Every structure is written in structure tokens, then in C-alpha cells.
Amino acid sequence: MESKEQLLKDIGIVSFTLTELSLYLDTHPQDCGAMEYFNHYNKIRQQMVKDFSQKYYPLNLDNVECSREWKWGDAPLPWEGECV
């Protein structure tokens, strides 16, 4: 079982990879291999964010599900020292 901190770190790593790939694809839009790589890691990131949001708190408003309680406010604030 991964800890909250490890999950956030892993999401950050995949997010960084996707950012770099998107910058590469801006200048190489015909690179099919890079597009497949981007799509693969984008699916992984989406699942990681969904899993994290269900277990702890949503990371963005796209992951807010309001079924029983509003969890958006559960995330630590930057000045609370928990943000990575």
C-alpha cells in the first residue's frame, strides 16, 4: 500500500513527463511514437489521480464527486506545509 506522499510524488513524476511530452509534441506534431507515449502516460495519470481522489481528496475540480459529502475542502492549504 502506497502512502499519500508517495502517490502524490508519483503523480508529480507522471505529470512532469506529460508536460515535457506536450512541449516536444508542440514542435514534432507528426511523431506517432511520442503521441502513443503521451496517450499511454496520460491514461496512467488519469487513473492515479482518480484513485488518489477517491482515497484522500480531489486534486482538482475535475475529480470532485459530490455524492455524500463535499471533499474539495479536505485538501491541505499551501501554508499548512503539506503541499508538494
Higher-confidence residue of 68 and 47: namely: 47
**Taking a C-beta distance cutoff of 8 angstroms, is the pair 18, 41 a contact?**
yes
pLDDT in tens, 7-22: 999 999 999 999 999 9
| CB within 8 Å of 2: residues ≥ 6 apart | 10
Confidence category of residue 69, pLDDT binned at 50, 70, 90: low
Q: Is the pLDDT of residue 81 over 70?
A: no
- The CA-based dihedral angle spanning residues 15, 61, 4, 66, taken in that order and rounded to the nearest 10 degrees: -150
The pTM of this model reads: 0.75
What does the pLDDT look like over 12-62, one tens digit per residue? Answer: 999 999 999 999 999 999 999 999 999 999 999 999 999 998 888 888 777
